[in-house]
């Protein structure tokens, strides 16, 4: 976003009301919401439109199957979309239904004008019709006798219909796409559309259906025996919702649309039908049409017929709204397909949200509570205390500065990656600055205050940048930092010193509790076999060596692994013992360690330690311990055993 636009108007496709919403609907709508929210954060006037497509044969068939009228089918199903959008924290400015009068009136006026100018004519048509796609195809379009789009069987139909002279705009559309490289995005989708236009003769578009075959639709104003083809009706929502033919001032304010967000399966309707319709209507083209990829299960597209569709409500109930939004935006590179599995979801959640963002939030707030009496530290707003603070702040500001161009280029996953890198650098900074070590020295109060204030300021910025993706959790984080006006403000985003000194902080609890992965039980069929092997080959107990030496096999029996300390607290009544919650990569465990005289709980959080992972669990002071950490000591001096360089949890130590 090198040049700040004067306005931003983003749309989703309008969704069929023949069934409940699924992850595909949720993804496009969340994308639009995130884009709209980022533009609002940048202070750009923004309008976000979504809605439902309520006409056509699929809706009529769904109504017939449910034993209700098409309007009742629409009224019952639209609520599912509206309720889901509320659950997903979608902040759309308008929700249009194609059964609303404000839309139907514009469709009929547009049809009449095009008919009066001979852009629409009547003719007999013979062709192959796909009910699922609600489109006609020629014989040569078919693939092994089936629909080229959805591979369903097609019906041969001969009937009179009305046609839009789409073919006359073929050369114009080719030239327009080639002259406007940003019109269809990503660029390979533009090439796909150009290939379609250059390799086959564009046909005129059948824009009507006889009432004898389909009664549910907007009636043609010039022939009451016909209703409007659902796609011709639906596409007009993008302009009817912002005042076309009803409020010219409103229409001029928002049109042309900044971004039409669509799935790649409706590329042709949006990059061929829609531009030629607008050209015939003498209406400006949208600035860009962006086609994102599909969510796959493994390598297979999610499909209701295959039974592999992810229900958004289930994911929200299990893991929370913000985590679901975060995964969808962070996981898919816009334009490409992405695979959705619960395992991938849990892995990213635990890594990005629980271990990184959640961990650094707990560390900063806990240390402010411990060392600054629960109040935002008081610091001078002049020069930074050390080069470490200055470097951290510059890196955080750089992430904010780079995010704008990335959002403008639809690189949402990469922009989130920038912020998460900044979050991790806060953690690295805390390790380097070590406020807990400073606290053991006399006269270091100012250094502690400045280090914690800097970390809190950087966390504030990161929370603002993640707010469009996770609004609820980031408001909670910013509120915990003592911000009365928790919603981000652009003019203060990268100013140092926004957090008010002396303000009481609060503890939001675990923003992102770690998701525990249940271990798969051993297969019952394997157990007898293993028991039999033990009976056949009894283990001989090794006697301890008289010289104190152990065998290679005894060494290899000890399973040493790296682990990251997630939480630490003192055990009541035990001066030397600390209870630790650790991340061992694939699981979380609890350890009890006698290191309380050498380390404070705050010092331990975030450290990568080495533990004996296969030690039999035991209880110390009534607290269960599932392993043992390694430490080295000389006299009263004790240091934890760590590994050199960056090493994540769960690595084997050899």
Based on its alpha-carbon atoms, the radius of gyration of the chain, rounded to whole angstroms, reads: 31
In this structure, are residues 613 and 561 in contact, taking their beta carbons and an 8 Å threshold?
yes
From residue 243, give the alpha-carbon distance in Å to each of 161, 270, 392, 621: 29, 20, 48, 72
Question: Per the domain annotation, does 488 fall within a domain?
Answer: yes
Q: Last residue of a domain, which of 492, 507, 531? A: 492
Domain co-membership, 487 together with 346: yes
162-205 pLDDT tens trace: 999 999 999 999 999 999 999 999 999 999 999 999 999 999 99
Per-residue pLDDT, 130: 86
Whether pLDDT at 111 is above 90: yes
The whole-number pLDDT of residue 98 equals 97
Q: Would residue 479 count as lying in a domain?
A: yes
- 566-579: pLDDT as tens digits: 778 777 767 778 88
In percent, the amount of the chain with pLDDT more than 90 equals: 58
Residue 5: burial class (beta carbons within 10 Å; 0-12, 13-18, 19+) = middle
Looking at per-residue confidence, does 16 or 250 come out higher?
Answer: 250
Q: Specify the higher pLDDT residue, 355 or 642.
A: 355
Distance (Å, whole) CA 330 – CA 318: 19
Q: Dump pLDDT digits (tens) for 333-387.
A: 999 988 888 888 999 999 999 999 999 999 999 999 999 999 999 887 666 768 8
Total number of domains in the chain: 2
pLDDT score at 647: 56
Confirm whether 460 is domain-assigned.
yes
Q: Are residues 373 and 476 in the same domain?
A: yes
pLDDT band at residue 552 using 50, 70 and 90 as cut-offs: low
- If asked whether residues 481 and 556 sit together in one domain, one would say no
How far is the C-alpha of 161 from the C-alpha of 232, rounded, in Å? 14
What pLDDT shows up at residue 557? 65
Mean pLDDT of 605-624: 80
Helices (H), 282-411: 312-319, 321-331, 342-348, 359-371, 387-408
pLDDT of residue 636: 61
The set of residues, in sequence order, having a beta carbon less than 8 Å from that of 208 and lying 6+ positions away, is 161, 162, 220, 223, 226, 227, 228, 229
- Of 97, 61, 107, 126, whose CA–CA distance to 226 is shortest? 107
Whether 233 is in a domain gets the answer no
**Distance, CA of 609 to chain centre:** 32
pLDDT value of position 457: 96
CA 189 to chain centre: 22
| Residues 149 and 135: beta-carbon distance below 8 Å | yes
Q: What b-and-e string marks burial along 437-467, b requiring 16 or more CB atoms within 10 Å of the CB? A: ebbeeeeeeebbbbbbbbbbbbbbbbbbbbb
Tell me: do 468 and 600 sit in the same domain. Answer: no
Q: What is the mean pLDDT of the chain?
A: 87
543 pLDDT band, cuts 50/70/90, is: low
Q: Write down which residue in 472, 492, 512 finishes a domain.
A: 492
Same-domain status, 462 and 563: no
In a domain, 330, yes or no: no
Residues of the chain with pLDDT > 70, as a percent, come to 88
* CA distance linking residue 332 with residue 57, whole number of Å: 33
H helices then E strands: how many in the chain?
23, 26
Q: Which residues pair with 226 in a beta bridge?
A: 210
Question: Among the listed ranges 26-30, 214-218, 324-328, 622-626, which one has the minimum average pLDDT value?
Answer: 622-626
DSSP reduced 3-state for 581? strand
Q: Give the strand pairing for 608-612 and 560-570.
A: antiparallel
Give the pair of three-digit tokens for residue 156. 């041969």
Q: Are residues 347 and 479 in the same domain?
A: yes
Same domain, 362 and 487: yes
Q: Are 472 and 384 in contact (CB under 8 A)?
A: no
Instruction: Please say whether the beta carbons of 71 and 502 come within 8 A.
Output: no
Q: What is the CATH number of the domain that holds 555?
A: 2.40.50.140
For residue 600, being part of any structural domain is answered with: yes
My answer on whether 361 and 466 are in the same domain is yes
Contact by Cβ (8 Å): 26, 328: yes
How many residues in the chain?
654
Nearest partner of 17 among 63, 69, 52, 56, judged by Cα: 52
pLDDT on residue 526? 44
Burial class (CB in 10 A: 0-12, 13-18, 19+), 273: buried
**β 8-11/46-53 pair status:** parallel
Task: Report if residue 59 sits inside a domain.
Answer: no
Q: What is the dihedral of CA 609, 611, 617, 618, to 10 degrees?
A: -70
- The dihedral region occupied by 52, where left means phi > 0, alpha psi between -120 and 50, and beta the remainder, is beta
Using alpha carbons only, give the angle 260, 262, 267 rounded to the nearest 5 degrees. 105
More confident residue, 19 or 166: 166
How crowded is residue 172: how many other Cβ atoms within 10 Å of its Cβ? 12
| Structure-block tokens of residue 555 | 């060494």
**How far is it, in rounded angstroms, from Cα 123 to Cα 276?**
20
CA 29: distance to chain centroid? 10
Question: Residue 382: helix, strand or coil by DSSP?
Answer: coil
Instruction: Report yes or no on 118 lying in a domain.
Output: no
Helix 412-433 with 359-371: angle, nearest 10 deg: 40
Q: If we measure between CA atoms, which residue out of 487, 491, 498 comes closest to residue 464?
A: 487
Instruction: Tell whether 476 and 575 lie within a shared domain.
Output: no
User: Which of 131, 171, 170, 173 shows the shortest CA–CA distance to 154?
Assistant: 131
Out of 447, 466, 492, pick the residue that ends a domain.
492
* pLDDT score at 528: 38
Range of the domain at 572: 549-640
594-610 tens-digit pLDDT = 887 787 776 777 778 88
Residues 345, 478, single domain; the answer is yes
**Residue 327 has what pLDDT?**
95
- Pick the range with the lowest mean pLDDT from 235-249, 300-314, 472-486, 541-555: 541-555
| CATH code of the domain containing 390 | 1.10.730.10
Q: Do both 347 and 488 map to the same domain?
A: yes
Instruction: Pick left, alpha or beta for residue 101 (phi over 0 → left; psi -120 to 50 → alpha; otherwise beta).
Output: alpha
- Pairing state between β 205-206 and 155-164: antiparallel
Please check whether residues 477 and 360 belong to one and the same domain: yes
Tell me the pTM. Answer: 0.78
**Nearest-angstrom CA–CA distance, 416 and 403:** 8
């Amino acid at each position: 976003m090198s040049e700040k636009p004067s306005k931003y108007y983003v749309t989703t496709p309008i969704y069929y009301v023949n069934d409940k919403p699924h992850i595909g609907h949720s993804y496009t709508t969340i994308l639009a919401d995130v884009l709209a929210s980022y533009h609002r954060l940048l202070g750009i006037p923004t309008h976000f439109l979504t809605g439902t497509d309520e006409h056509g044969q699929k809706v009529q068939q769904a109504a017939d199957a449910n034993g209700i009228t098409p309007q009742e089918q629409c009224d019952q199903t639209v609520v599912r979309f509206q309720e889901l959008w509320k659950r997903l924290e979608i902040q759309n400015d308008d929700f249009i239904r194609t059964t609303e009068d404000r839309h139907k009136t514009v469709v009929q006026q547009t049809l009449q004008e095009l008919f009066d100018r001979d852009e629409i004519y009547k003719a007999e048509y013979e062709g192959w019709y796909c009910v699922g796609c609600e489109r006609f195809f020629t014989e040569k379009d078919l693939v092994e006798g089936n629909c080229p789009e959805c591979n369903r069987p097609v019906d041969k139909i001969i009937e009179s219909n009305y046609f839009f002279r789409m073919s006359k705009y073929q050369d114009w559309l080719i030239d327009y796409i080639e002259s406007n490289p940003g019109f269809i995005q990503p660029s390979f989708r533009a090439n796909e559309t150009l290939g379609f236009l250059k390799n086959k003769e564009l046909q005129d578009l059948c824009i009507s259906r006889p009432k004898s075959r389909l009664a549910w639709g907007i009636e043609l104003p010039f022939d009451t025996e016909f209703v409007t083809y659902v796609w011709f009706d639906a596409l007009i929502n993008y302009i009817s919702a912002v005042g076309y033919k009803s409020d010219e001032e409103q229409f001029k304010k928002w049109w042309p649309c900044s971004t039409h967000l669509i799935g790649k399966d409706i590329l042709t309707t949006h990059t061929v039908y829609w531009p030629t319709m607008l050209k015939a209507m003498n209406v400006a083209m949208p600035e860009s049409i962006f086609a994102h990829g599909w969510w796959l299960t493994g390598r297979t597209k999610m499909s209701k017929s295959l039974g592999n569709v992810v229900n958004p409500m289930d994911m929200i109930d299990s893991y929370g709204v913000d985590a679901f939004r975060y995964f969808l935006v962070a996981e898919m590179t816009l334009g490409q397909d992405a695979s959705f599995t619960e395992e991938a979801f849990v892995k990213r959640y635990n890594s990005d949200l629980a271990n990184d963002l959640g961990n650094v939030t707990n560390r900063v707030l806990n240390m402010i509570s411990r060392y600054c009496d629960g109040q935002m530290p008081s610091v001078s707003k002049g020069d930074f205390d050390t080069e470490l603070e200055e470097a951290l702040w510059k890196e955080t500001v750089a992430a904010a500065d780079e995010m704008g161009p990335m959002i403008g280029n639809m690189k949402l996953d990469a922009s989130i990656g920038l912020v998460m890198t900044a979050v991790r650098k806060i953690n690295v900074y805390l390790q380097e600055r070590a406020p807990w070590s400073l606290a053991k020295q006399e006269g270091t109060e100012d250094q502690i205050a400045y280090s914690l204030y800097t970390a809190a300021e950087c966390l504030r910025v990161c929370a603002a940048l993640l707010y469009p993706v996770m609004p609820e959790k980031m408001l909670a984080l910013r509120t915990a930092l003592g911000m009365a006006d928790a919603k981000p403000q652009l003019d203060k985003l990268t100013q140092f010193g926004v957090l008010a000194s002396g303000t009481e902080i609060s503890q939001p609890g675990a923003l992102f509790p770690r998701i525990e992965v249940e271990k798969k039980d051993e297969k019952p069929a394997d157990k007898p076999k293993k028991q039999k092997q033990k009976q056949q080959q009894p283990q001989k107990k090794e006697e301890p060596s008289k010289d104190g030496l152990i065998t290679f096999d005894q060494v290899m029996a000890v399973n040493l692994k790296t682990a990251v300390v997630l939480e630490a607290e003192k055990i009541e009544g035990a001066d030397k013992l600390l209870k630790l919650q650790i991340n061992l990569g694939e699981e979380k465990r609890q350890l009890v360690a006698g290191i309380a005289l050498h380390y404070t709980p705050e010092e331990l959080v975030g450290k990568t330690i080495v533990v004996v992972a296969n030690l039999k669990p035991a209880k110390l002071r009534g607290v269960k311990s599932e392993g043992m950490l390694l430490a080295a000591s000389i006299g009263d001096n004790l240091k934890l055993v760590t590994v050199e360089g960056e090493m994540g949890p769960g690595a084997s130590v050899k």
